[in-house]
Amino acid sequence: AQSVTQLGSHVSVSEGALVLLRCNYSSSVPPYLFWYVQYPNQGLQLLLKYTTGATLVKGINGFEAEFKKSETSFHLTKPSAHMSDAAEYFCAVSDFGTGGFKTIFGAGTRLFVKA
Amino acid sequence: DVKVTQSSRYLVKRTGEKVFLECVQDMDHENMFWYRQDPGLGLRLIYFSYDVKMKEKGDIPEGYSVSREKKERFSLILESASTNQTSMYLCATSAFVETQYFGPGTRLLVL
């Protein structure tokens, strides 16, 4: 069965510092992996996704993530945090199971950026 | 751009009322989803639909029903609202297994 674990419900960084949000997943088949971002009072929007091919995926706003099959991880990084990055971030995994395709979301990590 | 709209941003209802939440998409996507979002729990799938008049239960369907009479419209119904259904409700749409596109959400308060 699928599962997604996001380590840390809250992460705080200083402006200009590295952002690292951790995501581990379990899936019995090759998964599709996603990171979504939610700004206050808005729905989720896609940051980046991994389906097949290159394991380092680049997304919007300078974010990237690397699919590491051996570690079952898909951590999200950004070299230099900006105040506008303050939001909640969700990791998600989609795969095909006995009930068809299904997407599971992690519990979310709220990112705080300090001036 | 995909546009997903939800009928209300904020809603206040009384216990026992029947509540309708509507979602409309303009991208001709086959799949539509209803989630509820609660702090610390992430998004939990209530129901989804992969075609007109088709529906499938998600992880937490109890107390909810759905209707999909037209491809672009997916309605969530709370038959008899209860206080534990106070939450943020998010509608999403996708083409097959790809990216989901979300509406802005409806924040529902049941008193």
- The band of B100, judged by pLDDT with boundaries at 50, 70 and 90, is very high
Using CA atoms in the order A64, A70, A72, A75, what is the torsion angle rounded to 10 degrees?
-20
Alpha carbons A86 and A88: distance in angstroms, whole number: 7
| pLDDT score for B36 | 96
Of the partner residues B41, B50, B101, the one whose CB lies closest to the CB of residue A107:
B41
- CA-closest candidate to residue A76, choices A29, A24, A20: A20
Residues 6+ apart with CB under 8 A from A61: A47, A78, A84, A85
Alpha carbons A59 and A76: distance in angstroms, whole number: 10
- At B59, which amino acid appears? D
| pLDDT score for A41 | 84
Alpha carbons A41 and B72: distance in angstroms, whole number: 24
| pLDDT score for A109 | 96
Q: How many CB pairs under 8 A join A and B?
A: 46
Using DSSP's 3-state secondary structure scheme, residue B84 falls into: helix
| pLDDT score for B97 | 67
Average pLDDT, chain B: 93
Which residue numbers of B have CB closer than 8 Å to A's CBs?
A: 4, 9, 35, 40-43, 45, 50, 56, 90, 92, 96-105
Residue window 44-103, chain A: list those with CB within 8 Å of chain B: 44-46, 49, 90, 94, 96, 99-101, 103
| pLDDT score for A14 | 97
Q: Which of A25-29, B1-5, B60-64 has the highest mean pLDDT?
A: B60-64
Of the partner residues A45, A101, A105, the one whose CB lies closest to the CB of residue B43:
A105
| pLDDT score for A31 | 81
CA–CA min distance A93, chain B (Å): 11
Angle of CA points A51, B49, A29, to nearest 5°? 30
Alpha carbons B54 and B67: distance in angstroms, whole number: 8
| pLDDT score for A100 | 65
Q: Which positions of chain A have pLDDT values less than 70?
A: 1, 97-100
